Homo-oligomer: A and B are copies of this chain.
Amino acid sequence: MTLMSSQPKAADRAYVRIRDKLLDGEYTSGHLLSEGTVATDLGVSRTPVREAFQRLQTEGFLRVYPKRGAVVVPVGPDDAHGVLQARLLLELFALDSLAARGPEAMREVGSALLRDCEEEQKQTTPASAREFGREFHIRLMRAAGNPVLGELYETLWNRQLRIAAAATAGPDHAAADMAEHAGIAAALHDQRPAEARELLTDHLAGVLHRTGFSGRPSLPPAAGVDGLWP
Protein backbone atom coordinates (compact mmCIF):
# COMPACT_ATOMS: atom_id res chain seq x y z
CA MET A 1 0.00 0.00 0.00
CA THR A 2 1.18 3.43 -0.80
CA LEU A 3 1.73 5.99 1.89
CA MET A 4 1.21 8.94 -0.38
CA SER A 5 -2.40 9.92 -0.82
CA SER A 6 -3.45 11.68 -4.00
CA GLN A 7 0.03 12.98 -4.77
CA PRO A 8 0.08 15.63 -7.48
CA LYS A 9 1.77 14.37 -10.57
CA ALA A 10 5.53 14.50 -10.79
CA ALA A 11 5.18 16.51 -13.98
CA ASP A 12 3.30 19.22 -12.11
CA ARG A 13 5.83 19.27 -9.30
CA ALA A 14 8.62 19.51 -11.85
CA TYR A 15 6.82 22.38 -13.58
CA VAL A 16 6.42 24.35 -10.37
CA ARG A 17 9.97 23.73 -9.21
CA ILE A 18 11.51 24.67 -12.53
CA ARG A 19 9.31 27.75 -12.79
CA ASP A 20 10.31 28.83 -9.31
CA LYS A 21 13.96 28.38 -10.16
CA LEU A 22 13.42 30.52 -13.24
CA LEU A 23 11.64 33.19 -11.21
CA ASP A 24 14.26 33.17 -8.48
CA GLY A 25 16.97 33.63 -11.04
CA GLU A 26 18.60 30.28 -10.30
CA TYR A 27 18.36 29.56 -14.00
CA THR A 28 19.56 32.79 -15.55
CA SER A 29 18.51 34.24 -18.88
CA GLY A 30 20.25 32.77 -21.85
CA HIS A 31 21.37 29.72 -19.93
CA LEU A 32 21.07 26.45 -21.83
CA LEU A 33 19.60 23.67 -19.75
CA SER A 34 18.96 20.09 -20.71
CA GLU A 35 16.28 17.64 -19.71
CA GLY A 36 18.76 15.22 -18.23
CA THR A 37 20.53 17.59 -15.89
CA VAL A 38 17.28 19.08 -14.65
CA ALA A 39 15.85 15.59 -14.21
CA THR A 40 18.70 14.42 -12.02
CA ASP A 41 18.59 17.77 -10.26
CA LEU A 42 14.95 17.23 -9.34
CA GLY A 43 15.37 13.52 -8.69
CA VAL A 44 12.91 12.39 -11.34
CA SER A 45 13.22 10.94 -14.80
CA ARG A 46 13.33 12.88 -18.02
CA THR A 47 9.70 12.27 -18.88
CA PRO A 48 8.06 14.67 -16.40
CA VAL A 49 10.77 17.24 -17.04
CA ARG A 50 10.08 17.03 -20.74
CA GLU A 51 6.41 17.66 -20.07
CA ALA A 52 7.23 20.65 -17.88
CA PHE A 53 9.55 22.03 -20.56
CA GLN A 54 6.72 22.04 -23.06
CA ARG A 55 4.40 23.89 -20.71
CA LEU A 56 7.13 26.39 -19.93
CA GLN A 57 7.72 26.90 -23.63
CA THR A 58 4.08 27.70 -24.34
CA GLU A 59 4.16 30.17 -21.49
CA GLY A 60 7.18 31.90 -22.90
CA PHE A 61 9.72 30.91 -20.25
CA LEU A 62 11.79 28.58 -22.38
CA ARG A 63 12.54 28.08 -26.02
CA VAL A 64 13.32 24.50 -26.95
CA TYR A 65 15.73 23.96 -29.80
CA PRO A 66 15.51 20.54 -31.44
CA LYS A 67 18.34 18.24 -30.47
CA ARG A 68 20.07 21.12 -28.74
CA GLY A 69 18.39 22.00 -25.49
CA ALA A 70 16.21 24.68 -23.99
CA VAL A 71 17.35 28.23 -23.47
CA VAL A 72 15.87 30.53 -20.89
CA VAL A 73 14.39 33.31 -22.97
CA PRO A 74 15.54 36.69 -21.78
CA VAL A 75 12.84 39.19 -20.95
CA GLY A 76 13.50 42.71 -22.17
CA PRO A 77 11.77 46.07 -22.20
CA ASP A 78 9.81 45.16 -25.33
CA ASP A 79 8.33 42.10 -23.68
CA ALA A 80 7.45 44.05 -20.56
CA HIS A 81 5.72 46.74 -22.55
CA GLY A 82 3.96 44.19 -24.71
CA VAL A 83 2.62 42.24 -21.78
CA LEU A 84 1.44 45.34 -19.96
CA GLN A 85 -0.23 46.69 -23.08
CA ALA A 86 -1.97 43.38 -23.58
CA ARG A 87 -3.13 43.41 -19.98
CA LEU A 88 -4.40 46.95 -20.44
CA LEU A 89 -6.38 45.95 -23.50
CA LEU A 90 -7.97 42.93 -21.86
CA GLU A 91 -8.64 44.46 -18.45
CA LEU A 92 -10.14 47.65 -19.80
CA PHE A 93 -12.39 45.45 -21.89
CA ALA A 94 -13.36 43.65 -18.70
CA LEU A 95 -14.20 46.92 -16.99
CA ASP A 96 -16.29 48.06 -19.94
CA SER A 97 -18.11 44.74 -20.11
CA LEU A 98 -18.83 44.92 -16.43
CA ALA A 99 -20.11 48.46 -16.74
CA ALA A 100 -22.29 47.47 -19.65
CA ARG A 101 -23.90 44.79 -17.53
CA GLY A 102 -25.32 47.48 -15.28
CA PRO A 103 -24.67 49.37 -12.05
CA GLU A 104 -25.67 46.55 -9.75
CA ALA A 105 -23.15 44.19 -11.39
CA MET A 106 -20.40 46.74 -10.85
CA ARG A 107 -21.41 47.23 -7.25
CA GLU A 108 -21.50 43.53 -6.59
CA VAL A 109 -18.11 42.76 -8.08
CA GLY A 110 -16.57 45.89 -6.59
CA SER A 111 -17.79 45.19 -3.09
CA ALA A 112 -16.57 41.58 -3.21
CA LEU A 113 -13.14 42.65 -4.41
CA LEU A 114 -12.98 45.46 -1.87
CA ARG A 115 -13.87 43.13 0.96
CA ASP A 116 -11.16 40.66 -0.03
CA CYS A 117 -8.67 43.50 -0.37
CA GLU A 118 -9.30 44.51 3.22
CA GLU A 119 -9.15 40.89 4.30
CA GLU A 120 -5.77 40.49 2.64
CA GLN A 121 -4.44 43.74 4.07
CA LYS A 122 -5.10 42.57 7.61
CA GLN A 123 -2.46 39.89 7.43
CA THR A 124 -0.35 39.81 4.32
CA THR A 125 2.85 38.03 3.42
CA PRO A 126 4.93 38.42 0.28
CA ALA A 127 3.70 35.07 -0.97
CA SER A 128 0.06 35.77 -0.23
CA ALA A 129 0.33 39.22 -1.77
CA ARG A 130 1.62 37.74 -5.01
CA GLU A 131 -1.18 35.20 -5.04
CA PHE A 132 -3.74 37.83 -4.19
CA GLY A 133 -2.70 40.01 -7.08
CA ARG A 134 -3.23 37.09 -9.40
CA GLU A 135 -6.64 36.39 -7.93
CA PHE A 136 -7.67 40.02 -8.08
CA HIS A 137 -6.95 40.52 -11.73
CA ILE A 138 -8.25 37.14 -12.81
CA ARG A 139 -11.52 37.73 -10.99
CA LEU A 140 -11.77 41.12 -12.62
CA MET A 141 -11.19 39.48 -15.96
CA ARG A 142 -13.76 36.78 -15.36
CA ALA A 143 -16.32 39.48 -14.64
CA ALA A 144 -16.22 40.27 -18.35
CA GLY A 145 -18.20 37.11 -18.93
CA ASN A 146 -16.01 35.82 -21.76
CA PRO A 147 -14.38 32.53 -20.72
CA VAL A 148 -12.15 32.47 -23.78
CA LEU A 149 -10.58 35.78 -22.90
CA GLY A 150 -10.39 34.63 -19.30
CA GLU A 151 -8.23 31.67 -20.24
CA LEU A 152 -6.13 33.81 -22.52
CA TYR A 153 -5.56 36.18 -19.65
CA GLU A 154 -4.32 33.42 -17.40
CA THR A 155 -1.61 32.46 -19.84
CA LEU A 156 -0.81 36.14 -20.12
CA TRP A 157 -0.41 36.34 -16.36
CA ASN A 158 1.98 33.41 -16.33
CA ARG A 159 3.96 35.23 -18.97
CA GLN A 160 4.26 38.33 -16.90
CA LEU A 161 5.42 36.40 -13.84
CA ARG A 162 9.04 36.85 -14.79
CA ILE A 163 8.51 40.54 -15.25
CA ALA A 164 6.63 40.87 -12.01
CA ALA A 165 9.24 38.84 -10.18
CA ALA A 166 11.59 41.78 -10.23
CA ALA A 167 8.86 43.97 -8.83
CA THR A 168 7.78 41.81 -5.93
CA ALA A 169 11.41 41.22 -5.11
CA GLY A 170 11.84 44.93 -4.55
CA PRO A 171 11.17 46.80 -1.29
CA ASP A 172 7.49 46.44 -0.68
CA HIS A 173 5.88 47.29 -3.90
CA ALA A 174 3.19 44.92 -2.69
CA ALA A 175 1.81 47.73 -0.56
CA ALA A 176 1.49 50.04 -3.54
CA ASP A 177 -0.12 47.27 -5.55
CA MET A 178 -2.60 46.59 -2.81
CA ALA A 179 -3.55 50.23 -2.42
CA GLU A 180 -4.15 50.57 -6.13
CA HIS A 181 -6.17 47.37 -6.17
CA ALA A 182 -8.35 48.71 -3.39
CA GLY A 183 -8.79 51.95 -5.28
CA ILE A 184 -10.01 50.14 -8.36
CA ALA A 185 -12.38 48.04 -6.33
CA ALA A 186 -13.71 51.11 -4.55
CA ALA A 187 -14.32 52.91 -7.84
CA LEU A 188 -16.25 49.91 -9.06
CA HIS A 189 -18.22 49.74 -5.85
CA ASP A 190 -19.11 53.42 -6.13
CA GLN A 191 -20.11 52.88 -9.75
CA ARG A 192 -17.62 55.30 -11.25
CA PRO A 193 -16.42 53.31 -14.26
CA ALA A 194 -14.46 56.16 -15.80
CA GLU A 195 -12.43 56.49 -12.62
CA ALA A 196 -11.90 52.73 -12.50
CA ARG A 197 -10.51 52.90 -16.02
CA GLU A 198 -8.07 55.62 -15.07
CA LEU A 199 -7.02 53.87 -11.89
CA LEU A 200 -6.44 50.62 -13.74
CA THR A 201 -4.34 52.39 -16.35
CA ASP A 202 -2.33 54.07 -13.62
CA HIS A 203 -1.95 50.75 -11.83
CA LEU A 204 -0.50 48.97 -14.84
CA ALA A 205 1.76 51.94 -15.50
CA GLY A 206 2.89 51.70 -11.90
CA VAL A 207 3.58 47.98 -12.21
CA LEU A 208 5.69 48.59 -15.30
CA HIS A 209 7.55 51.44 -13.66
CA ARG A 210 8.23 49.56 -10.42
CA THR A 211 9.80 46.73 -12.40
CA GLY A 212 12.44 49.14 -13.55
CA PHE A 213 11.19 49.67 -17.06
CA SER A 214 10.43 53.06 -18.50
CA GLY A 215 7.45 54.15 -20.51
CA ARG A 216 3.76 53.90 -19.89
CA PRO A 217 1.47 51.31 -21.45
CA SER A 218 -1.28 52.82 -23.55
CA LEU A 219 -3.78 51.89 -26.19
CA PRO A 220 -4.17 53.58 -29.55
CA PRO A 221 -7.32 55.68 -30.01
CA ALA A 222 -10.10 54.22 -32.05
CA ALA A 223 -9.02 54.79 -35.63
CA GLY A 224 -11.14 57.05 -37.74
CA VAL A 225 -12.62 59.17 -35.00
CA ASP A 226 -12.45 62.84 -35.74
CA GLY A 227 -9.09 64.37 -35.17
CA LEU A 228 -6.92 61.36 -35.80
CA TRP A 229 -6.13 62.40 -39.34
CA PRO A 230 -6.47 66.14 -39.94
Question: Chain A: residues with CB nearer than 8 A to chain B?
Answer: 9, 51, 54-55, 58, 60, 66, 78-79, 82-83, 85-86, 89-90, 92-93, 95-100, 103, 146-149, 151-152, 155-156, 159, 191-197, 219-225, 228-229
Contacts and interface: CB of A to CB of B under 8 A. Distances in A.
A195 B193 CA distance: 29
Contacts of A103: 229
Nearest to A159: B148
A217 to B, nearest CB: 10
A93 B85 CA distance: 11
Nearest to A87: B148
B9 A221 contact: no
Contact of A9 (B66, B90, B95, B148): B66
Contacts of A86: 146, 148-149, 152
B96 A222 contact: yes
A11 to B, nearest CB: 10
Contacts of A148: 79, 82-83, 85-86, 156, 159
8 contacts: A78-B147, A85-B146, A85-B149, A86-B149, A89-B149, A193-B224, A194-B224, A197-B224
A152 B155 CA distance: 9
A218 to B, nearest CB: 10
B99 A194 contact: no
Given A51-B54, A99-B224, A100-B228, 18 more contacts: A54-B55, A60-B151, A79-B147, A79-B148, A93-B219, A93-B220, A95-B223, A96-B220, A96-B222, A97-B220, A100-B220, A100-B223, A193-B223, A193-B224, A193-B228, A194-B223, A196-B223, A197-B224
A228 B193 CA distance: 10
Nearest to A98: B223
A125 to B, nearest CB: 30
A225 B225 CA distance: 15
A85 B220 CA distance: 19
